[in-house]
Amino acid sequence: MRRMKTEIKKGKVWLVGAGPGDAGLLTLRGREVLEAAQSVVYDALVGDGILGWIPEGASQIYVGKRGGSHTKSQSEINQILVEEASKGRRVVRLKGGDPFVFGRGSEEAQVLSEHKIPFEVVPGVTSAVAVPAYCGIPVTHRGIAPSFHVITGHRKNGEPAEMDYAAMVREGGTLIFLMGVTSAEHICQELIRSGMDKDTPAALLERGTTAGQRKVISTVERLWEDGKKAGIKPPAIIAVGEVCSLSDTCGWLEEKPLFGQKVLVTRPRRRSSGMAGRLREAGAEVVELPSAEPKLVQDKEEVQDLRETVSQIGRFQWAVFTSPSGVELFFEFMKQEKLDLRLLMGLRFAVIGEGTRRALQSYGLFADYMPERYYARDLGKGLAETLLEEAQGKRPETALLLRARKASDALTEELLKAGISFEEKTLYDTVLPDASLQAERVKELLKKQDFSFVTFTSASTVEGFLNLLNPDAEELSGFTAVCIGEETRRAASAAGMKTIVSDKPSMDSMAECMERFAAR
């Protein structure tokens, strides 16, 4: 990325295909240029999960139709691209599917070329192939479909486009119509009139690769009726051909436990969340929202005090961490204060759970104690037991707790109860991230009641979510909050959310909890 950042002085545009909706279908190259963008111009078909990857500070310009707002005309879009690039920016023009498949990407390329603005094209996974694939329909199949044809069903001034349907029928390949929902009746009639067997399998595939994916498998004769009954709406694809009958055996997405569920994952800023990956694996559509930002203590006295404690950390035998952010910020602090890592020699480490253990391990340090259940109380109890056992009646070792300001009392209560001596230091505060454009987007999705679940891993992420989005009762009623721990649940519940608590405080357990809930 460094190379990309220095290369551009004049401004440049990348015409990037975002794929059909599933964030996982953005290409590696697409994500690379997106993460280096200074200005992102996107439209309605770009997956919600992808917008979370737009870097902080980049301006976002929405040019598609959504809600009541109006679509920008193509010439307005062209002008925006030219203007943004002329400011010397790296501009990413994000489009659904592939930019050159009915995406008017080539018109934009021509305009850029006229203005001598450098550009690149990053092809995308087109919905014409991917949406059928996610619905179990292969666009070609040996012996059944020797070719496939991608055709526009778009109407011009309300009239269906004139096309050589007889040629399509003669060809015998799979026919894929984009933008064709409103012309479905006309298309099917024309195909039959041009000699296609009226029992030829056909399908309507709505919002493929997203949580809203629906399919209607029928015949050319009945497709329009069946689609109307099912209430199929754009964006949808019409597929016509024998391959549509394979969708039972070649279907796979619908089998996944979280298929059809859209999940909002709240997480601390800066930490990429393993949760999103775990949920996508289970078939969910995931949108991430950074809703709490861990920040090292700033107050001069506090910094000085912490510095002194850490520089004499040899007074303690144990250091205790209760979050991955804590681990990361601790090492950041040592670096900031020029405290040498060798100070930690001989120190033992206790961690609250798997994530914290992994964070520590990334610094080459292996945790000496982790409780079976990842709760503050279990950590306190277990650590106290370990220390008492090791002391064999002598004075137990001393621990330093390095935590967030408003950390849970359960840990210290247990240590006090067991008579363990410890010191507690505030390492960081959890502050609210600045209102972001991503938050605006998420707010719109909440309004549409798009999410089935929202995940919260701490009371501070609940607080962050509420402050950031300021949701009303109706917006809060659209989803179920999936929480780690009682404290988190209480915070969510107090705000008026429906809640469920995972059995264990782990990502896997949260995902399983959603799977069970969704199966009901």
Judged by the rule CB under 6 A, the positions of this chain that interact with ligand SAH are 20-21, 45, 95-98, 101-103, 126-128, 131, 178-179, 205, 207-210, 234-237
Question: At how many degrees (to 10) do helices 184-193 and 223-230 cross?
Answer: 160
Cβ-proximal residue to ligand SAH, closest one? 97
From 43, 48, 98, 378, the catalytic residue: 43
How many angstroms separate the CA atoms of 422 and 300, rounded? 23
- Cβ 103 to ligand SAH, closest distance in Å? 4
DSSP string, 204-267: EEESTTSTT-EEEEEETTTHHHHHHHHT--SSEEEEESGGGGGHHHH--GGGSTTTT-EEEEEE
- Cβ 247 to ligand SAH, closest distance in Å? 14
For residue 136, which of 246, 259, 280, 212 has the smallest C-alpha distance? Answer: 246
- Cβ 165 to ligand SAH, closest distance in Å? 18
From 65, 198, 228, 406, the catalytic residue: 65
Query: ∠ at Cα 110 (108, 112), nearest 5°?
Result: 70
Q: Which is nearer to ligand SAH, 96 or 464 (CB)?
A: 96
* 164 is a catalytic site residue: no
- Over its C-alpha atoms, the chain yields an Rg (Å, rounded) of 28
Q: Which is nearer to ligand SAH, 182 or 317 (CB)?
A: 182
* 65 is a catalytic site residue: yes
- Cβ 187 to ligand SAH, closest distance in Å? 12
Q: Which is nearer to ligand SAH, 102 or 374 (CB)?
A: 102
Which one-letter amino acid corresponds to residue 37? A
How many angstroms separate the CA atoms of 242 and 248, rounded? 13
Helical H segments across 36-137, by residue range? 48-51, 74-86, 105-114, 127-134
Do 396 and 316 meet the contact criterion of CB atoms below 8 Å apart?
Answer: no
Three-state SS for 302? helix
Do 104 and 74 meet the contact criterion of CB atoms below 8 Å apart?
Answer: yes
- Cβ 46 to ligand SAH, closest distance in Å? 10
* 179 is a catalytic site residue: yes
Three-state SS for 373? coil
How many angstroms separate the CA atoms of 12 and 84, rounded? 9
- Cβ 130 to ligand SAH, closest distance in Å? 8
Q: Which is nearer to ligand SAH, 131 or 476 (CB)?
A: 131
Do 478 and 262 meet the contact criterion of CB atoms below 8 Å apart?
Answer: no
From 22, 48, 168, 179, the catalytic residue: 179
Q: Which is nearer to ligand SAH, 184 or 411 (CB)?
A: 184
- Cβ 128 to ligand SAH, closest distance in Å? 6
* Catalytic positions, written as ranges: 43, 65, 179
